[in-house]
Structure 1
Amino acid sequence: MAFDLLWGSDIISQYMKTVSRVVEDNEQLEEYNKTIDKNTGKLSILKIYNNQDGEFREINQYPGQLGEAGALFKWFKFKFIPGGELSSRPVMFVDGDESFTKTGIESVIGAEESMKRNNNYEFFEKFDAINRFALNNEVLLKGKAKIIGNNKDTGFISWLVTSETSKESLFVVANEKPPTEVTRNSAGEVVNVENNPIFSIETLVPKDFSVVSEYVFDREDLDFSGKTEINNLSDNKLCFEKLEPSEFHIYKVLAK
């Protein structure tokens, strides 16, 4: 498969790569591929997961530490925001901070500030479960994501993933802001930010869909399994007392 490697401008770990921005990037790639002759290979863009949880210090000078939850949600965005048939975006994993191996790739480049997780197996288990879920789910392999709700101030985001080849769809609800990050304010200054939970949030299930189950990570099975008992669902509305930074929920939904 041919692809262009956009190092820097297409790394989802960057703070500007919000869920809605990723969807916009998918749509832009899709529109471009519509202009290509059908006998010509389509363009695909490689996405890079750099496990440093931030940026190269020698390049950007301000590594953004997302924390464990933020690092998992960064990986989640790679896997759960597909762009459809004309927006192919394969993933390359780079072990930047020695958390999956004993030698991080960034030690080759220069100084780094990393969060080592060599022995944090709970992190590895959920990271792996997210990957396996996506690789074995037809909706994520062949589907397309669409933004449903988006509050840029609080970080609340929801999106629907549908596929013409599957009766099942996925509805995702999340607080997309990481617990901590390094970003730029309106004045262009680099600042350290600690983000807050979202309290008392409600969201309607997408029109013409009903929730069947919630996929919940099971620590014993080390996998996501469907739970049909959903206590925060009422009248096709999902209610959350609190969504922590980078907390996400995955729901299986069916068309009515």
Structure 2
Amino acid sequence: MNSISAYFQHDDITALIEAAGATHGHERTMLEDEIVRRHLGLAHNLAGRYAGRGADRDDLVQVACFALVKAIRGFDHDRGEFVPFATVTILGEIKKYFRDHCWGVRPPRRIQQMQADISSATERCLQADSHQPDVLTLAGEIGAEVEDVREAMAARSCFSPTSLDQPVREDGRPLGETIAAEGSAYEFIDDWVTVGPLCRDLDDDERELLRLRFVEDKTQQEIAELVGVSQMQISRRLAKLLARLRASAGLADAA
């Protein structure tokens, strides 16, 4: 076998890969390092495609370089050229890295897959006419519903969700202080804990009446039209039912 330095002068990447596969230890490492060095531009270029999507660029380059070594060790020259094989391997590892490590909030798997499809479709459209495709075009490209594409695009922030501590005002107020909630969830929980057990003794018609009035927020007239009685009858039924619940609640508190 020729010396390692002789292989370094070889322009045939397939020959270098075969030589690396036929050696062991330090020699194999040196040959693989040489092949990686010759393809660093490819690794950097592919990693750059995914920069700015919630992962550190240096981390993506590192993933791409590890994938390049994986491609070297898994390459079979009978299947074609090395660069296309390495490209597929590197892109696969980068996508896997995003899937396994980069979600701040993990969306459903179908959304993750659709985001990958959207990225590929966007790249094809940009190469074809140098224009950023709209949602309708992307939906046609990947064979998905427009609303599903919008959902997947909106979920891209899951890679790096905005911090509630991030200043959003000129006075430096953080985002969390600008988000106001209507009412108190604790009050609702307290009411629900009180009313829930009382409703167990109601019949189906009484539960339906409460649901229409307080869950669906229908007026007494709308309920009357649905049930087929007068608005006055609905008013009386509600008043009687609520009085009963208040009385039961008072007894429960006293107990």
Task: Pick the TM interval, shorter chain.
Answer: under 0.3
Task: Name the TM-score, length of structure 2 as normaliser.
Answer: 0.23
Larger RCO (CA within 8 A; separation ≥ 6): 1
Structure number with greater Rg is: 2
Higher helix share: 2
